[in-house]
Each structure stands twice: as C-alpha cells, then as structure tokens.
Amino acid sequence: MNSEPVPAPSGAAEPDDAEVGRRFAAGDEQALALAYERWAGQLHGMAVRAFGPGPDAEDVTQQTFISAWTGRARYRPEQGPLPAWLVGVCRHKIADAWARRDRMRREAEAAVSEAQATPAGGTTPPVDSVVTDRMLVLEELERLGQPQRGIIELAFFADLTHAQISERTGIPLGTVKSHIRRTLERLRTRLEVDGAALPA
C-alpha cells in the first residue's frame, strides 16, 4: 500500500474571508496580500468618493492597509469580518486627511488675517511669504480638478520634487512639470492683480 501523502490539487480553493481574517489577525503576511487583493478596490473607491481620483485616494488606500497591518492586534475576528473592520480604518484615514487639510487652511487663513491687520503703531507686521503662498495655493486648488490638484498638493504641501511626484503618481515627468508651471502662472497673475509678485 502506498503511504505517500497525496499532493493537494493545483487548483485548491483559496481561504474564505473568515479564514483570511483569522490569519490576518495572527500576522500571516499572505493573508495581508489576500486582503489587499480582495478589498483594496472597495477601499480605494471610498477614498475616490472623498477626494476624487488621484494621489490622495491612493495614499489613503495604502495608509489604510499599513495602519490595519501594524494595528492588527486590535482586530478581533470573532467580533466581525475583516472587510468591515478595514472599512472602519479607511474612514478614519479619510477623516484624518480632511482634518490635515482643514488645519492647513485655518493656519494659512489666520496668518494672512494677522498679516493684514495694522497695529496701533501704524506699522504692518511682516507677512510670512511661505504662509501667504500656501494660502494662495489653497485657494487655487479649489479651482483645480485631478490630477492637477494632487500634483500641486504633493509639490507644495508634501515638498516632493517633480521627479518624486512623477514616481509616486505614475504621471510622466514632463506632464508633472507642465501642470505645476501652469498653476504657478495662474498664481503669478493673481498676485500681480493684488499688487504683488512671485519671485522669478
């Protein structure tokens, strides 16, 4: 009698969602890959609805899986399915991203308001040119669609180089440069109307 084990068929079924959840909680990296394969599209769709297609949505999707994996000890398979838990993590990441945007906007608005106020001595406090530039960029972003908006945010707020933006977004370097150049030209026009000018 042949006692050798029978190999599993090559088309063996993949683990179901519940098994993926249990293995994910146990730290199985293959389960992380399976979770990404099965649910990244759903989470990316949530992020796109919040920010539009582009780098912001992609970053939120990646941050969701990074946060979920590093915080997997908080996931309890017996309390609910893994995709539902991932959706909760994604909602937190979306909220965090909106909070960062709002905080930057408030800080810029406050700095501009303070700079425009003239004290009793009659002298105007110096304007922080970086904050002023960011305020103008924030206003301009309201007029932009994607991918231009994502490119400008990465350039001004993440301080990435043109090459880094191209690498992160997959957009050709020449296209990245042209989007940034056109936006800066619009900003220069706005500043000139206000009696100021961007440095050359």
Q: In the chain, where does the domain assigned CATH 1.10.10.10 lie?
A: 127-200
What was the pLDDT predicted at 30? 93
Q: From 1.10.10.410, 1.10.10.10, 3.30.43.10, 1.10.3720.10, which CATH number describes the 127-200 domain?
A: 1.10.10.10
Backbone Cα Rg of the chain: 24
Residue of 197 and 64 predicted with greater confidence: 64
Question: Cα separation of 69 and 75, whole Å?
Answer: 10
Given a cut of 70, is residue 122 above it in pLDDT? no
Question: Domain 15-114 is of which CATH architecture?
Answer: Orthogonal Bundle (1.10)
What was the pLDDT predicted at 129? 57
Q: What is the pLDDT of residues 49-86, one digit of tens each?
A: 988 888 888 889 999 999 999 999 999 999 999 999 99
E-strand spans in the chain? none
What was the pLDDT predicted at 74? 92
Q: What is the pLDDT of residues 130-168, one digit of tens each?
A: 566 666 666 666 666 667 777 777 777 777 788 888 887
